[in-house]
Structure 1
């Protein structure tokens, strides 16, 4: 497939999306008569039909009941003046309630009610529902009473009030039990990754509004290049492979569902200026259209921003320019059309090694292998990182009648990483870089590397549901096609002239699909049982060109080699939720997940692989409980996870096929618990904690050999004050001891416990005027300026140790070196933010 052909279809797709999204002409607002009306939505903003709505006076026995229509609308007229509470509920969803709604004798008000559901990837809400729990409403993170697995819901309020305005999804997710993330260049100023239960980035899915996104090389993620924190409206963090309807390429450790911002009912405009440490500045503007036209059929939210920073690490400059738009239009009483587009232009001076050596860190904590000497290997201008991305989808939801509903979402996204970085070039007699360094010297790295990684994806997610008095049936399909181009070529940093032969050059396509079916049986009024099956298939066509020996070699004079691979799995799931009381539930879950082998399976001499390795599998068993009292919440879970580890390879005889074998299995077991206590007058105290043991099992594996990056324990503490115009928050996250590995050899470096303390102070304008939503905010990250080594890239090779007189395959000893590359926590930083504007009334 030619580049021009792809560019043509890309333009066609984007043009079609834009026509669909902008074909609505804004109309004048229309005022309805005295009444109480509104819309019932799921928390992704889609209409929820046939929801039961109760409107109750808070001072009399007056009660009015109604039902939402196909587009989630409800209305009640001729209501007596007074104060009301409104509650909405629907099968398979948790009830939600709004209180203190004051109605005058001839007044008309409109509101929206969002319901959460226990299985959907694109649902999130902080649940202060029929239980009337103030503690739940004010909790930084919460669990769901209808939970079927260990899930944490992070609300938009928490993101806006208690995270840095430049934060990425990793920093936002730190509040979740057991989760930690490090960005050595400072909050939101580089590619970060989350770790939880011993699962690193790549062992779990990340989705945006229910659409999985990941690198095609391995299932790792480039979240900072797609979805910055200013676009994130909530996070649904599922720490399990999920149910059969959970889609994505690596439902292994769990799924982090990132959600776009909901479209508000009222028109508003806001401009934000943030400035802080490391000369970091964020300029952001957001416009909310509100409900447009007399019929309230259309609405959208638009955001544009520009972020610049010198970064905490020396000369690691960052710039990000982006904009996104989300649109909704009601085609009819039964059909809702939505659309989204986000575009990012990211540039940085990040080198290939993103940390200092041990020797350099002793001289300068924020050293980053960069300086201002053009004759030096570490000249910052020799390291460039340019990444444009775009992400688009169109969503269609329709109520088909008799409880049937359709939800389909075609999408496309693109990642285009052009990176250039230096290694250690040879020098001339006067100490300058040798101008002929583009030609690699045997035994030495090339002077610089011209690196490229680009992929374009097209796909769709679709589901059909049928809701009846017996329960909810779900079936659907995730399909995705992708094209990837990757190369690394030795280059001269002085002239940017590339060598003739690359380290590698490869093109490949993927065809992936996952059909699924599951049934959520409402076996009893308080008992829900869900079971399902998913079929997971991945087909790959891989084209590798001859190279300089960096991967596959010269191929005996052939220009390239083509390999194909097909992977498939059946993934069942089963779970149960029992509601002991309206505010207390228990659940249990069994689920299976998998990850396909990375594309480097074929990175062997001649590209010859005799037997393809199979996908790596995981089985998860967990049980938990959620309790929500008025002033106290408590939820916890216990889990047992058995999973296979990554493949290793060897070639028996030179020229023969490469053989792949699995590493030892692992077992992870532990528990997680969290609570929020509402004290009084907006003051709350939040605590979470985990205890985890992730260790290898199997024949020949030494006892007490632990999985890397799996802390033995974590603790989180938070004190929040949320009253009237003030929002104050003090949070601490402590990460217990853990191990780093050296390649396939385990337990090579013990990472000492470390903690991070953050502080947030906000004054918000909440006065029902045009300035409603304006605020002044101050945040401090790493308040105590703790500086820790949290990861090591070893310069020395590991020396295998003997177990019962035989050299171990898994355990070794590595001497620490001044050349080790370190991952470190960034130093203290602050940000001052001023937001102007608000709701247009």
Structure 2
């Protein structure tokens, strides 16, 4: 989409919003009826602290909704605050969900961690904050510690499917991980939390709420979160702070505006997977770093500084003809880091020319490295107009709107003399740069859908969405695929992709406690930006990766049991692969993958404060024709445990098992890169004392142990193969971090 089309789209969105506002009549929107899971008192949707105490919905680590139209997992505020280490990030929050696994070798919240879901890797599913999708500006991947920590979240909802036509995102076919910021309270108050744990971990969280200010109807929420840790790995300290401010303001009788702003700063060290030889020499907690300033592995030469911000203005209301929900937003990511070329070796090659070394021989002993900066800002708007239609058997709700977004991105990687702290001087630009890139991305996704309700039990929703994605990139020099040097260094590239996507969901309320659903949907993801990192991008024969999703499931919920199960089949087409090498490298689509499986989760109240929990999946992700597994797709996941909550005391004993999977795609004739299963068990006990101290509403204390049985199984590895030949010497690995302890003290007022 060119700039004119982009501004036309923005103009249309703004015009529609203003027109709807002008048409506002006497009708009043009942804002209390607008509900997300767990945000209101509706018994069908309330979870965690919003659900009735002692019910399955109140205590369940994961659960679905009777209103789900695709496989869904809701993770409540109670699970986040009571059953997890206080420094947890979003990857730690979702680990118990079916078909999901995550790993964090440096401990929860202490390093970037990726979420794997059904064999889909980061970038093949969406992550949203309060309904706004976000991602990196190269590929739509994510950084688990870059935006909102667990202390800033009220709940997480995982949708394992493309959703409906109104579901927005860069790559929705793999699903969505939806983060929801802390919720407003009608009463003034807040809390002060402190947490501590192994590896010198400290966490502090402060929240203050104004409650409902009767004179103006305003609500204000401020949340501050601060985490510091030495990390489970050697020389792997981390620290990050988050500041979040939310304001909710009614406008007249039928409109409401919510502002959210979050700012995050973080510092981490450049961890790396290590070889077996390095593990034998330094231990499994070695992360490619040391304390020797004469070494390229010196931790002072391998660190990352990140700053992010995320702002959303949500305007909802009754415009007479339509109900309006508009989200205008911006977010930014700035990453500055120092790194070395290869952390599997402790030496580097001088980057100076022979003439420079002859003029100053001492430079030959300097440590060589790289300095990187990645900086982008996104501006966007999501407009949804809806209208209830009273037409007898054809009654329902129509929705239409559009998502429009523009992203500016600059990133470079330059050679550096770490000893001197300077870029390597060169005679001509851009010889010192590995890459220096300016990129612009435009997204436009208009949609329309109709939720037909022929009876109180049925909901049938057909929909349509148009997908429009374009990327303009100028590299001087351009980045290269696989780190190879290419002859063509200066490139201006444009790539645009379009698609029309149909959607259909059906939900049937069989009983008050039971609902069933079916979903058919198509999804799409633009080709990887790596397709532009070749000598001749025009040689690429790339089409967007697409999926056709078929899913069926059922949800059962009452006070004593919450349970759901589903079957899925996903036809994945246009799987991308790099072909050739050097200046002859290009990308093409090589075929497809069949993803299929069965998933489920359940919590049952046993009595006397005890509940039982289980979740699990049987999964398959194999290439068409060859029937070989794709990378990072476990054949089974299984979770379960015992929960307790009564008379102030609470606790959980939960374990998660992740089955066999491949490091890199499976290769016929060898299973060398097949990784063994791993499991981790966590124990938490705590007590809520209530308002035993003046001017407090509750005092809560808890203690926990993660990885109770101290497993150190391999969780991640490089491909471990060259073709079909095992390469044990060069393969690299991460192991589970060992047993760790944590404690928390929370004072609410």
- Check the 8 A contact 2:41/2:50 in 1, yes or no: no
- Check the 8 A contact 2:40/2:50 in 1, yes or no: no
> Counterpart in 1 of 2:31?
72
CA 1:370 to 1:227, structure 2 compared with 1: closer, same or farther past 3 Å? same
> Counterpart in 2 of 1:666?
593
Asked whether 1:224 is paired with 2:145, we answer yes
SS in 2 for 1:706: coil
1:407 to 318, 325, 332: 325
Q: Distance in 2 between matches of 1:94 and 1:349?
A: 38
Please show how residues 579-590 of structure 1 align to structure 2 within 5 Å.
579-590=509-520
Asked whether 1:387 is paired with 2:306, we answer yes
CA 1:421 to 1:332, structure 2 compared with 1: closer, same or farther past 3 Å? same
Per-residue deviation, 1:525: 2.0
SS in 2 for 1:223: coil
> Counterpart in 2 of 1:808?
none
SS in 2 for 1:510: strand
> Counterpart in 1 of 2:657?
734
> Counterpart in 2 of 1:560?
490
For residues 400-443 of structure 1, the C-alpha deviation after alignment (integer angstroms, 9 at most, x for no partner) is: 236x210111111110111111236999xxx99787668999xx
Q: Distance in 2 between matches of 1:129 and 1:425?
A: 48
SS in 2 for 1:677: strand
Number of equivalent positions: 700
SS in 2 for 1:711: coil
Q: Distance in 2 between matches of 1:323 and 1:310?
A: 22
Q: Distance in 1 between matches of 2:671 and 2:548?
A: 24
> Counterpart in 2 of 1:330?
250
Per-residue deviation, 1:142: 1.2
1:647 to 569, 576, 589: 576
Farther off after superposition, 738-747 or 322-331: 738-747
SS in 2 for 1:249: coil
- Check the 8 A contact 2:257/2:315 in 1, yes or no: yes
State the TM-score, normalizing by the size of structure 1. 0.78
- Check the 8 A contact 2:37/2:74 in 1, yes or no: no
2:726 to 782, 794, 814: 814
> Counterpart in 2 of 1:619?
548
CA 1:255 to 1:432, structure 2 compared with 1: closer, same or farther past 3 Å? closer
> Counterpart in 2 of 1:457?
378
For residues 665-690 of structure 1, the C-alpha deviation after alignment (integer angstroms, 9 at most, x for no partner) is: 11111101222111113211011121
Per-residue deviation, 1:393: 1.3
> Counterpart in 2 of 1:628?
557
- Check the 8 A contact 1:426/1:437 in 2, yes or no: no
CA 1:578 to 1:384, structure 2 compared with 1: closer, same or farther past 3 Å? same
Q: Distance in 2 between matches of 1:228 and 1:270?
A: 16
CA 1:831 to 1:509, structure 2 compared with 1: closer, same or farther past 3 Å? same
Q: Distance in 2 between matches of 1:125 and 1:139?
A: 12
Q: Distance in 2 between matches of 1:528 and 1:305?
A: 41
SS in 1 for 2:291: coil
- Check the 8 A contact 1:541/1:565 in 2, yes or no: yes
| Structure 1 spans left out of the alignment, 5+ residues | 1-48, 50-67, 74-88, 97-111, 118-123, 800-811
CA 1:142 to 1:306, structure 2 compared with 1: closer, same or farther past 3 Å? same
For residues 311-345 of structure 1, the C-alpha deviation after alignment (integer angstroms, 9 at most, x for no partner) is: 00100111112211111001111010110111111
For residues 132-155 of structure 1, the C-alpha deviation after alignment (integer angstroms, 9 at most, x for no partner) is: 993233322211112110011111
Q: Distance in 1 between matches of 2:112 and 2:527?
A: 23
- Check the 8 A contact 1:765/1:771 in 2, yes or no: no
Asked whether 1:191 is paired with 2:112, we answer yes
Per-residue deviation, 1:608: 4.0
For residues 530-549 of structure 1, the C-alpha deviation after alignment (integer angstroms, 9 at most, x for no partner) is: 11011111111110113698
- Check the 8 A contact 1:531/1:575 in 2, yes or no: yes
> Counterpart in 1 of 2:690?
766
SS in 2 for 1:160: helix
| Structure 2 spans left out of the alignment, 5+ residues | 1-23, 358-366
SS in 1 for 2:239: strand
CA 1:438 to 1:316, structure 2 compared with 1: closer, same or farther past 3 Å? farther
Asked whether 1:529 is paired with 2:529, we answer no
Q: Distance in 2 between matches of 1:738 and 1:425?
A: 25
2:612 to 673, 677, 685: 685
Please show how residues 37-52 of structure 1 align to structure 2 within 5 Å.
none
> Counterpart in 2 of 1:708?
631
Asked whether 1:422 is paired with 2:340, we answer yes
> Counterpart in 2 of 1:20?
none
Asked whether 1:299 is paired with 2:219, we answer yes
State the TM-score, normalizing by the size of structure 2. 0.88
Q: Distance in 2 between matches of 1:548 and 1:827?
A: 38
Farther off after superposition, 458-467 or 495-504: 495-504
> Counterpart in 2 of 1:215?
136
2:296 to 372, 377, 386: 377
CA 1:437 to 1:315, structure 2 compared with 1: closer, same or farther past 3 Å? farther
> Counterpart in 1 of 2:500?
570
CA 1:688 to 1:497, structure 2 compared with 1: closer, same or farther past 3 Å? same
CA 1:770 to 1:580, structure 2 compared with 1: closer, same or farther past 3 Å? same
- Check the 8 A contact 2:48/2:59 in 1, yes or no: no
CA 1:815 to 1:834, structure 2 compared with 1: closer, same or farther past 3 Å? same
- Check the 8 A contact 1:184/1:313 in 2, yes or no: yes
Bigger radius of gyration = 1
Asked whether 1:252 is paired with 2:173, we answer yes
CA 1:496 to 1:565, structure 2 compared with 1: closer, same or farther past 3 Å? same
CA 1:717 to 1:437, structure 2 compared with 1: closer, same or farther past 3 Å? farther
Per-residue deviation, 1:285: 1.2
Per-residue deviation, 1:737: 1.2
Q: Distance in 2 between matches of 1:515 and 1:548?
A: 32
Per-residue deviation, 1:129: 11
CA 1:303 to 1:95, structure 2 compared with 1: closer, same or farther past 3 Å? closer
- Check the 8 A contact 1:131/1:583 in 2, yes or no: no
Per-residue deviation, 1:293: 3.0
Q: Distance in 1 between matches of 2:37 and 2:523?
A: 30
For residues 272-297 of structure 1, the C-alpha deviation after alignment (integer angstroms, 9 at most, x for no partner) is: 221111111112211111111335x1
> Counterpart in 2 of 1:482?
407
Per-residue deviation, 1:836: 2.4
Q: Distance in 2 between matches of 1:129 and 1:189?
A: 30
CA 1:533 to 1:758, structure 2 compared with 1: closer, same or farther past 3 Å? same
> Counterpart in 2 of 1:593?
523
> Counterpart in 2 of 1:754?
678
CA 1:263 to 1:361, structure 2 compared with 1: closer, same or farther past 3 Å? same
2:279 to 361, 369, 380: 361
Per-residue deviation, 1:357: 1.9
Per-residue deviation, 1:742: 6.3
For residues 90-139 of structure 1, the C-alpha deviation after alignment (integer angstroms, 9 at most, x for no partner) is: 8xx7999xxxxxxxxxxxxxxx835599xxxxxx7529999999323332
> Counterpart in 2 of 1:676?
603
Q: Distance in 2 between matches of 1:438 and 1:225?
A: 38
Asked whether 1:268 is paired with 2:189, we answer yes
Please show how residues 469-508 of structure 1 align to structure 2 within 5 Å.
469=390, 470-499=395-424, 500=426, 501=431, 502-508=433-439
Q: Distance in 2 between matches of 1:609 and 1:744?
A: 30
SS in 2 for 1:113: coil
CA 1:552 to 1:425, structure 2 compared with 1: closer, same or farther past 3 Å? closer
Q: Distance in 1 between matches of 2:153 and 2:51?
A: 27
- Check the 8 A contact 2:275/2:344 in 1, yes or no: no
Per-residue deviation, 1:771: 1.7
Q: Distance in 2 between matches of 1:548 and 1:160?
A: 42
> Cα RMSD over matched residues?
3.1
For residues 519-578 of structure 1, the C-alpha deviation after alignment (integer angstroms, 9 at most, x for no partner) is: 1100222111111011111111110113698567454xxx83311111111111101111
CA 1:649 to 1:433, structure 2 compared with 1: closer, same or farther past 3 Å? closer
SS in 1 for 2:278: helix
- Check the 8 A contact 1:565/1:612 in 2, yes or no: no
Q: Distance in 2 between matches of 1:299 and 1:618?
A: 42
> Counterpart in 2 of 1:26?
none
> Counterpart in 2 of 1:25?
none
SS in 2 for 1:142: coil
- Check the 8 A contact 2:369/2:416 in 1, yes or no: yes
